[in-house]
Structure 1
Amino acid sequence: MDVQQRYWPVADVLAHLAGRWRVERTVRDLASGDEGNFSGVTVFSALDGGGGLLHAESGDFTWQGTTRPATRTLRFLPRARPGTADVRFADGRPFHELDLTTGRFIAGHPCAADLYRGEFTVRDADHWRSVWRVGGPAKDLVLTTDYAREG
């Protein structure tokens, strides 16, 4: 994002994310120079039992000329501080916190020998972005995902 870009504050991340989003992601391997992309949708729907959202992503991922279906499921749970979320993998393991009350948030996630650093920015009510930088002994990646709200 441009340094002049203003972020759009989100009072309640769960309420803001609820619904259907168009997703476009680029994946760059900084070591090899390879680049891939994902195109699909993410639906944030109420979790059974209430109090959180199920993040269900599906689409097609193209890497080195081969396109395959791809899916991902996360759980976004309310944190003690109002308007923020605790993001977890489908199996319940912790992933990262998410607080968009200023419109921007930096998250970290250690994974074995790798470190994931994510920056989340909200441009307006219908557009947000995540940029994950993944570094480790065998990884040097940047994943940039743009979300646009669908009707």
Structure 2
Amino acid sequence: MNTADLTSTGIILLVVVTIAYGGTFLLKIARADAAVNDFQSRMFRAGHAHAGVLVILGLVVRLCLQHPAVPAWSSTLASFVLYAAILMSAGFFLSAVGRDPQGPNRWIILLWVGAVSLTVGLVGAGAGLIVAGMTA
């Protein structure tokens, strides 16, 4: 890994700590210590889960792309997996804010933008690995 990759990976690992800390809010919900409705509870759980899983997926993809034969464009596109972690979890959380919402608000668009970002990142990473495998 180059210096920029090492630094950004360190930052990402610190972000994982904040995701884990966010789990304490879910514990408050589970203990009924937080005033949320059923819809909000489901959305907050989904946002937390997507954040954790997609950040770890982004790190794994980053490691897979460290081979010298992987084209640079693939690594650039693969960073969209990490953007998806932010966008999708934000879509879940922000679309459920408010006093007793019964359904998602307009922030749900972030979930779909994140899904596109995830697709772009995974296709870019997969294509780059195939190209690297065929040329190595």
TM-score (norm 2): 0.26
More strand by share: 1
Larger radius of gyration: 2
TM-score (norm 1): 0.24
More helix by share: 2
